[in-house]
A and B are shown apart, each in its own frame.
Chain A
Amino acid sequence: MPKQEIRNKRHEARMHLSILPPARILKGGESPMIQIPESLKTLLLDKKSIIITKWFNYLCHEYPDKTVELLKSDKSQFANPVGSNMHDGLQGIFEELLQDMGFEKMHIYLDKIIRIKAVQDFSPSKAIAFIFILKRVIREELHSQLGEEVMYKELAVIEKRIDDIALVAFEVYSKCRETIYQIRIDEVKKRCDISERINTLNQ
C-alpha cells in the first residue's frame, strides 16, 4: 500500500468521529405545544427548589447508601462530577419544561444525566426512569395546594410534556449506547490497521 494511502487512512480514521446524527429532536411547533396555565407555572416556579431537591434525592437513592453520601455532598463539581451533572441536568430539564420546551436544550440537559447512567450498572429502563419520577414529585408537592379535580386537569398538560421528554430521553440513551459500540468497533479496526501497516512495511 503506498505511503500516501496509509497516511490518508490514518487521517480518515482520526477525523471520523463516528458521532451519530443527532437524535431526531422533537421541535416545538411540530405538534402544537399546549401552554401551561400561568397559575400552575407560577406555583411550580415557586416550588422549583423543593421539587429539584426531591427529584435529585430520588435519583441519588438509586445508588448504594455510601454513594448517596458523595452524590449529596457539597463537594466541587470535580470531586463529585456525577452528583453535579445530575443536579445541573435536572435543573435544566425542569426549567425547559416550564418554558417553551426548547428541545435542543432539553437534549443537552438529558445528555448530562443519561450519558453517565448509560455506562453505569443501570438497565435501559432504570436509566431513564427518573423522568417519570418528576410526575410523582410534582403531584406530591401540589397535592396539598390544589383540589383533586383541579390538579388532574392542570397536571395533564405537564405530564404530557414529561412523556415527551421521556421519548427524547430514550433517543439520548440509544445514542450513548451506540457510541459505545462504535468506539469498540473502531478500537478493533485500529488494531487491524496497525497489523496491516506492520505487514505492509515488512513487504
Chain B
Amino acid sequence: MAKTPKRDQLLSIDYNPPKTGWMDTPVDFKPGTWCYPGKAESLEIIDFPNPRKWSPEDEDWKLPENWKQIIFDGLRERLERFRSLKLFMDICVRCGACADKCHFFIGSGDPKNMPVLRAELLRSVYRKEYTTAGKIMGKMVGARDLTEDVIKEWFYYFFQCTECRRCSVYCPYGIDTAEITMIGRELLNLIGCNTDWVITPVANCYMKGNHLGIQPHGLVDSMDFLVENIEDLTEIKIDPSWNRKGAEILYVPPSGDLFADPGTFGIMGQLMVMHEIGLDYTLSTYASEGGNFGSFASMEMAKRLNAKIYAEAKRLGVKWILGGECGHMWRVVHQYMDTMNGPADFLEVPVSPITGTKFENTKSTKLVHITEFTSDLLYHNKLKLDPSRNDELKVTYHDSCNPSRAMGLLEEPRYILKHVCNNFYEMPDDTIREHTFCCGGGAGLGSDENMEMRMRGGFPRANAVNYVHEKHGVNMLSCVCAIDRATLPPLMRYWNPQVDVCSVHELVGNALVMEGEKKRTENLRFEPLGTEEDDDE
C-alpha cells in the first residue's frame, strides 16, 4: 500500500537557495538589476568598438568573433602597463577583511559582491591564462576558462561596483577593487559591452564639453535663471562672467548643478559667496564640466575629457582653478590629473586673494575644492553669517566616497556646516569619513532602470541616516557630490522619506548675510524661513 505523506511533508517549501560554488552560480539578469547598454551612436562618436543594438537579456550579445583574443590581449597589455594590477592579481591572501565591507554585498546578500570575489571574477581568468598552476590545476587553484558566461558575469558585477574603495581601507595589502573594476570595464569596452548611463554622457562631454550635452547658450541661460533667483531672494544682482580672459580664477562646477535640484541651490550659494568677497573668477562654456564620466569608461577617455580643464585655464590665462561640489572629479584631480594631463606649470600655486592662504596641498594640480576655499574664508572671519536661518533643519553630513577616500577631504565640509547651521549631527563613526558608505549610485550606476540594485547598495548609508533621524530628528542630508545629490533623494524616498538632501553650499547661501541684501524671508528653495508650513506630517 502507498505511504501517505505526513502533514508537514505535504507543503514543504525549501527556503534555502541552491548551494552552488560561485563559479557555478549563473547570473540572472532580472529587471531592476542591470543598466541599459550603451547606444551605438554614442559609441561611434567616441570611437569605441563594436557599436550595435543589444541587450543583457538576450542570449547572444553579438560579441566580435575574436572577442576572446581581444580580452586576453587587453589584459596582457594592462598587466604590463599597470604594476598595481599585476600586484592585485597576485597578492590577495583571502584574509576576508574586505568581505563584508562592500555596501552592495551588505545590501544584496550576493557573495559575488564581496570585494574578494569581485576581484576573483577577473583573477580566476588571469590565473588560468597566465599562471602555471592555473593552467595545470584549473578550478582547484581558483582558475577558470574565459567563456561568454564569464563576460556576462563581468558585466553584471563590474557594473555593481561604484568604485567607492571602501574595501581598500580594510585590505591589509591595500588592494583597490575599484581599480580592478576599472580594468574590468576597460576590457568590456574593448568588445563593446558598456552601459548607456556612462557612454552617452561621455559622448556628450566629448562633443559639447559637459555630460548633459548642453551648448554654451544653454549653460549661460541656466546660470542667468539662478542669478535671477538670487536677485529675487536678496535684491542683489550677481554677474558671473563666462570665458573671460585674464580672470584670476577659473571656476569649474559639475554641469548637473546648473540644472538639477538640489545642486542648483548649492551653485546659488557658491555664487553668493564669490560675489560677497568680490572674487575675480570666470566660468567657461568650454570647460563646463568638472565631472569625468570618462573615468568610468577607460583611463584614455578620462584623459581626453579632462584635458579641457587645463587647456581652458591656459587659454584664459587664469592663475588657478576652483572646483565645485563634485565627487569623482576630485578623485581624477587628486589621483590621476597630474600624470594624465599635467604638469600644470602654466598655473600658479593657488593663493586665496581674500585671506592670503597658500593651498600647499594643491601645489601640483593647482585645483582647490570649493569647501577648502570657503572653510578658509570662515576661518578668517571673512563671511557674515546668520546660522539661525537654517534652524528648521537638523543636518547630517554624508562623506561622498571620492572627496573623502580618494582625496582626504574630511574636515572642511564639516567646518563649514558647523558654522552655518546650529543643528549638526554626525552619523556613527563606522559609517563616515574614510569608512563612509556609498550612495549606491556612483561610477555610472545612477540610472533609473537599476533602481532595485541602487536601493540595495544604498541601504547601509540609508540605515545610518535613519539612525540619526530617529535619534536626533535629522531631516537634511548634506553632501559635496553632484551624483550624490542625484542618487540620494530617491534613496531617501525609499528608506527615509522624511529626510531631504542638499549641498553644503546651499546651507551657506541660506546663512550668508550679504551686504545690501533685503531681509530674507525665504531660503534658497523659496520656502518660507522659520515657519511650520513645510512640515509634511
**Residue-wise interface mask of B (420-457) relative to A, using a CB-CB cutoff of 8 A (1 in contact, 0 not):** 00000000101100000000000000001101100110
Give the complex CA separation of A6 and B75 in angstroms.
50
Asked if B467 CB lies within 8 Å of chain A CBs, one says yes
Q: Which 5 A-B pairs have the closest CB atoms?
A: A201-B221, A81-B463, A66-B111, A187-B448, A119-B455
Asked if A39 CB lies within 8 Å of chain B CBs, one says no
In residues 258-313 of chain B, which contact A (Cβ within 8 Å)? 259-262
A3, A58, A79 pick with most chain B CB within 10 angstroms: A79
Asked if B13 CB lies within 8 Å of chain A CBs, one says yes
CB < 8 Å neighbour of A11 from B28, B431, B451, B525: B525
| Chain A: CB-nearest residue to B264 | A10
Inter-subunit contact A79/B430 (CB<8 Å): yes
Point out the residues of chain B lying under 8 angstroms from A3, CB to CB.
Answer: 225, 228
Shortest Cβ distance from residue B153 to the other chain A in the assembled complex, whole angstroms: 15
Inter-subunit contact A63/B431 (CB<8 Å): no
Give the complex CA separation of A121 and B452 in angstroms.
9
Asked if A146 CB lies within 8 Å of chain B CBs, one says no
Point out the residues of chain A lying under 8 angstroms from B30, CB to CB.
Answer: 121
Asked if A163 CB lies within 8 Å of chain B CBs, one says no
Give the complex CA separation of A143 and B32 in angstroms.
43
Shortest Cβ distance from residue A8 to the other chain B in the assembled complex, whole angstroms: 9
Asked if B229 CB lies within 8 Å of chain A CBs, one says yes
Inter-subunit contact A184/B448 (CB<8 Å): yes
Inter-subunit contact B218/A198 (CB<8 Å): yes
Shortest Cβ distance from residue A151 to the other chain B in the assembled complex, whole angstroms: 13
Give the complex CA separation of A197 and B214 in angstroms.
12
Point out the residues of chain B lying under 8 angstroms from A179, CB to CB.
Answer: 493-494
Inter-subunit contact A201/B222 (CB<8 Å): yes
Task: In the complex, identify which listed stretch (B46-54, B99-107, B143-151, B179-187) lies at the interface while the others stay far away.
Answer: B99-107
**A-B CB contact pairs (8 Å), 8 listed:** A11-B526, A58-B15, A67-B105, A85-B463, A116-B459, A119-B494, A120-B107, A194-B260
**Residue-wise interface mask of B (460-490) relative to A, using a CB-CB cutoff of 8 A (1 in contact, 0 not):** 1001100100000000000000000000001
In this complex, the interface size class of chain B, counting residues with CB under 8 Å from chain A, is 35 or more
Question: Which residues in A have some Cβ–Cβ distance to B below 8 Å?
Answer: 3, 6-7, 10-11, 13-15, 17-19, 58, 61-67, 70-71, 73, 75-82, 85, 115-116, 119-121, 126, 129, 133, 136, 176, 179-180, 183-184, 186-188, 190, 194, 197-198, 201-202
Point out the residues of chain B lying under 8 angstroms from A6, CB to CB.
Answer: 225
Shortest Cβ distance from residue B110 to the other chain A in the assembled complex, whole angstroms: 7
Known A-B contacts A64-B109, A82-B107; the reply to A184 vs B459 at CB < 8 A is: no
Known A-B contacts A119-B455, A129-B13, A201-B222; the reply to A183 vs B493 at CB < 8 A is: yes
Inter-subunit contact B218/A17 (CB<8 Å): no
Inter-subunit contact B109/A201 (CB<8 Å): no
Point out the residues of chain B lying under 8 angstroms from A201, CB to CB.
Answer: 218, 221-222, 224-225
